[in-house]
Amino acid sequence: MLNRREFTLGAAAGAIAIGASTTGLAAGKSPTHKALIIDAMGEIRAVYTDSLVREMIDSGLNSITVTLCDPKSYESQAYDWGMAGILEYDRLIASKPEFYRKATSVADIDKARKDGKISMFYLFQNSTQFGKSLDNVDIFYGLGVRSSQITYNYQNWAGAGCYEDNGSGLTVFGHALVDKMNSVGMLIDLSHSSMKTMADTIAASNAPVMVSHSCSKALFDHPRNTTDENLRALADKGGLFGVTQMRGFMTHKIKNALPVYYEHIEHAINVAGIDHVCIGSDRDHRRLVMTDEYLAELKREEGENFDPTHWPLYFHELNGPRRMETIWDGLKARGMSEGNLEKLMGKNVYRLYAEVIG
């Protein structure tokens, strides 16, 4: 099976049909060119063309946090894939120094923004790469990893994922892991956690935590979504909630579905407050076309979890490198002030990273 790490960085350019760009560069035409724009969890792939990356930068994107490797791994495989993921992204950044800067602090956001580049933070979407050795937190931190989820979809040493029927909350080891991550300045991400593990971790952490890519369970009852109770608890501890762009977490509609995405952002703000919500797309930047070839790639990646009726996962209007402009303009048209847009689309992430990561 093609794992996520291979799919993200190593897929052949021809394996996925990419729609031709119909949007020219628009420097100076959108407030996103002046505002700080950060994607709290998105994708950067090695197959991106230089013109696509330039369009991402032109659209205003200043910083992004990327997933290092396939989170569906355990024990020694998880450690090995974690190491391989770091090396792969390090090589990608080194091969494109005109576009990317590896980020380990907010100072790197500032430097990249000044130079017209994208700063890239590293995230693990599971904690299995640590095994049961807290020393591994130090090892991965030393290699530049600045955030990690506590769980992926299922039970691990630290807690239960969102698809566990009878999983634990935060375990004894999970409490020790939270303390360790707090002590070194590694941001705790609770995306994919069960609601019990999420609540336990929010309460246990001495530092603010993040749910980088989820949606509202009150609006759409999906296992990956978050309850209002946990949204409030997250905000009360100074944390941050990233609204994903995975359409299937919000609606069964495929066409004309973008307003539902805006509703999830607005609901999160109403519950948690404008200072505690951000954008965590979990999406590719290419203009994807749902060809048979692309569906075959998805089937190999997802395995038994693949259901073609759920695809495409993206909103058509956000399918491409200029999606932050679309979000800004759409929310502004719905009445959001530019000051609140600046918080939502970058300043809130910067604040959290400055407090936790440094």
Q: DSSP letters along 48-91, please?
A: --HHHHHHHHHTT--EEEEE-S-SS--HHHHHHHHHHHHHHHHH
pLDDT at 306: 67
List Cα–Cα distances, 14 to 4, 48, 55, 80, 288, in angstroms.
17, 12, 20, 28, 12
Three-class DSSP category at 338: helix
Q: What band does 18 get if pLDDT is binned at 50, 70 and 90? A: very low
Task: Tell me: pLDDT of 47 over 90.
Answer: yes
pLDDT tens-digit series, residues 160-184: 999 998 888 999 999 999 999 999 9
Q: Looking at residues 322-335, what average pLDDT do you find?
A: 97
Phi, psi angle pair for 219, to nearest 5°:
-90, -30
Phi, psi angle pair for 227, to nearest 5°:
-75, 155
Eight-class DSSP state of 137: H
Q: Looking at residues 19-48, what average pLDDT do you find?
A: 74
Domains annotated on the chain, with CATH: 4-9+31-356 (3.20.20.140)
Three-class DSSP category at 196: helix
pLDDT tens-digit series, residues 137-158: 999 999 999 999 999 999 999 9
Q: What band does 26 get if pLDDT is binned at 50, 70 and 90? A: very low
pLDDT tens-digit series, residues 191-211: 999 999 999 999 999 999 999
Distance of alpha carbon 322 from alpha carbon 301, whole angstroms: 26
pLDDT tens-digit series, residues 66-78: 999 999 999 999 9
pLDDT at 226: 98
The type of residue at 335 is G
pLDDT tens-digit series, residues 223-250: 999 999 999 999 999 999 999 999 999 9
